Amino acid sequence: MKTNIRIVLVNTTHPGNIGAAARAMKNMCLERLYLVEPQGFPCAEATARASGADDVLASAVVCQSLEQALNGCRFVVGASARSRSISWPVENPRQCARRLLDESKQGDVALVFGREHSGLSNEELEKCHYLVHIPSNPDYSSLNLAAAVQVLSYELMMMAPEQNAHLKDEVREVVSAEEMESFFGHLEQTLIDLEFLDANHPRKLMRRLRRFYNRARPDKTEMNILRGMLSAAQGRKLYKAER
């Protein structure tokens, strides 16, 4: 759980959206929900739409003002459906997630969402260090509130180090440049032995094959297999020639 990140919903009209936002948050390992003057909350519809994320709803902090919800935050980002509502720095969700996570290492940060009908007021947007806009159809750019919470929470999830842990498993011990050179020499000789490559008219075959095998970046085991295949092909050719 990312405990330093607050999701702040300002003056939400539909309790169902509050529930759906809580669900989106919990799915993406966020838990701190702040509600500024919500209309009709708590409400059965919110609980129904939260569908199991009731704990996020139960621990939601209801505030009288945006200032109160932002109290103690070192960094604030406002989500805006309009790409250029006021002249304020705007980032995309990925940039914004990176910045929020960085800042959250040192203290509380907030991601603020506006009301369904009119978004955030200019006064509210001015309380933000940055705005984030989810790229969308310029003629129809306003996402459902909970959908916007989902997209931005997902980006925060993707930015977490554990999401990139699998990349470490992919670190492979590829063979060195000398081993590649030695392989290419072996490959060329084998192709000549097999009379597939005419040493007097090599054309671009070796260059093409080099490009192909370099792209694969073989590791040691793969290289052993390749070398074994070449030796087997050479041996068979020799065997045939001797018979």
114, 124, 150, 223: residue in contact with ligand SAH (rule CB under 6 A):
114
Cα torsion 8, 11, 17, 18 to 10°: value is 50
Selection from 51, 99, 130 nearest residue 18 by Cα: 51
3-state secondary structure of 65: coil
The nearer residue to ligand SAH, 80 or 104, going by C-beta atoms, is: 80
The nearer residue to ligand SAH, 135 or 228, going by C-beta atoms, is: 135
Half-sphere exposure (Cβ direction) of 40: Cα atoms closer than 13 Å: 13
Which residue type does 192 have? I
d(CA 217, CA 195): 27
13, 27, 39, 141: residue in contact with ligand SAH (rule CB under 6 A):
141
Strand locations in the chain, DSSP E? 2-10, 30-36, 61-63, 73-79, 90-91, 108-113, 130-132
Q: Is there binding between residue 70 and ligand SAH (CB under 6 A)?
A: no
29, 43, 86, 143: residue in contact with ligand SAH (rule CB under 6 A):
143
The alpha-carbon radius of gyration of the chain (Å, integer) is: 29
Q: Is there binding between residue 6 and ligand SAH (CB under 6 A)?
A: no
The nearer residue to ligand SAH, 38 or 114, going by C-beta atoms, is: 114
Q: Which stretch binds ligand SAH (CB under 6 A): 33-41, 52-60, 95-103, 113-121?
A: 113-121
Q: Is there binding between residue 113 and ligand SAH (CB under 6 A)?
A: yes
The nearer residue to ligand SAH, 60 or 81, going by C-beta atoms, is: 81
Q: Is there binding between residue 189 and ligand SAH (CB under 6 A)?
A: no
Residues whose CB is less than 8 angstroms from the CB of residue 90 and which lie 6 or more positions away in sequence, other chains included: 80, 83, 84, 130, 131, 132, 133
81, 109, 128, 223: residue in contact with ligand SAH (rule CB under 6 A):
81
82, 129, 186, 237: residue in contact with ligand SAH (rule CB under 6 A):
82
Selection from 24, 30, 26, 33 nearest residue 61 by Cα: 33
Binding site for ligand SAH (CB under 6 A): 79-82, 113-114, 116-120, 132-134, 136, 141-143, 145, 148
